[in-house]
Amino acid sequence: MKKIERARLILKILNKIYPDTPIPLNHKNVYELLISVLLSAQCTDKRVNQVTPLLFNKADNPYQMKDLSVDEIYKIIRPCGLAPKKSRAIKDLSLILSDKFMGKVPETFEDLEKLPGVGHKTASVVMSQGFGHPAFPVDTHIHRLAQRWGLTNGKNVMQTEKDLKKIFPKEFWNKLHLQIIFYGREYCPARSCYGLTCKICKSCYPSRKTAVKTKKS
């Protein structure tokens, strides 16, 4: 089966299982989404959604957040992990949004990626889920699945993102990255499928006998 044929098959399966793709991080505005995505690094969405109501009750916009101390932020977000670094980033980016962007989250990759604590993946999520611009956020989970499904040979998320964008039409990107995440959690987790047992893995590679090891740089 050629790569483009696998891509079409995967789309068909994912659209059938996940016709709707609700955003897993609870938020009321783009600023809250930005903070939630920042907090989700090395943390589950469930844990983030438990923490953010407490944080956003104190500050749900940059002007209020910049007036909180780093320690106040830290005490709330500590369960998310990497809290010292994230606390400082939230404080600093809120100051920048207040001073340079009139309290608004910028709508470009260039400006987003200049904010403290905001990398390309976080910016991609905000552009996609917050503003509706075509983007394909790729984390380590999507990277792993793309390798299992024979969609990339990339050793890092940057190369995998480029490969997936070449295979799938732009109009599918925003929904597809969520579909892949949902599917991976439910059917193709890191420590059980190994590219051998779930429907997509078996459909793409019915004769595969050896577990797939994720290539990392």
* DSSP letter for each residue of 63-121: HHHTTS-HHHHHHHHGGGSSHHHHHHHHHHHHHHHHHHSTTPPPSSHHHHTTSTT--HH
pLDDT, one tens digit per residue, over 106-117 is 999 999 999 999
Question: What does the pLDDT look like over 65-88, one tens digit per residue?
Answer: 999 999 999 999 999 989 999 999
For 150-204, the pLDDT digits (tens) are: 999 988 999 999 999 999 999 999 999 999 999 999 999 989 999 999 999 999 9
3-20+136-204: CATH topology is: Endonuclease Iii, domain 2 (1.10.1670)
**Average pLDDT of the residues in 4-31:** 96
Q: Average pLDDT over the chain, rounded to whole? A: 95
Q: Which of 114, 121, 166, 175 is catalytic?
A: 121
pLDDT of residue 215: 82
**pLDDT score recorded for residue 154:** 87
Residues 6 or more apart whose Cβ sits within 8 Å of residue 33:
23, 25, 27, 125, 126, 129, 130
pLDDT in tens, 120-146: 999 999 999 999 999 999 999 999 999
Vertex 172 angle, CA 168 and 174, to 5°: 120
Domain 30-130: CATH architecture, name and number where available? Orthogonal Bundle (1.10)
What is the rounded average pLDDT of the residues 3-7?
95
pLDDT at site 217:
61
28 is catalytic: no
**Phi, psi at residue 48, to the nearest 5°?**
-60, -45
Domain boundaries of the chain, sorted by first residue? 3-20+136-204, 30-130
> Would you say residue 216 has pLDDT above 90?
no
Query: In which band, very low, low, confident or very high, does the pLDDT at 209 lie, cut at 50, 70 and 90?
Result: very high
Cα gap 63→75, rounded to integer Å: 19
Indicate which residue of 85, 139, 166, 202 is catalytic.
139
| Residue 214 confidence (pLDDT) above 90 | no
Contacts for 92 with CB less than 8 Å, ≥ 6 apart: 116, 117
User: Both tokens of residue 90?
Assistant: 């939230």
121 is catalytic: yes
Instruction: Compute the average pLDDT of residues 3-28.
Output: 96
Cα 14–chain centre separation: 17
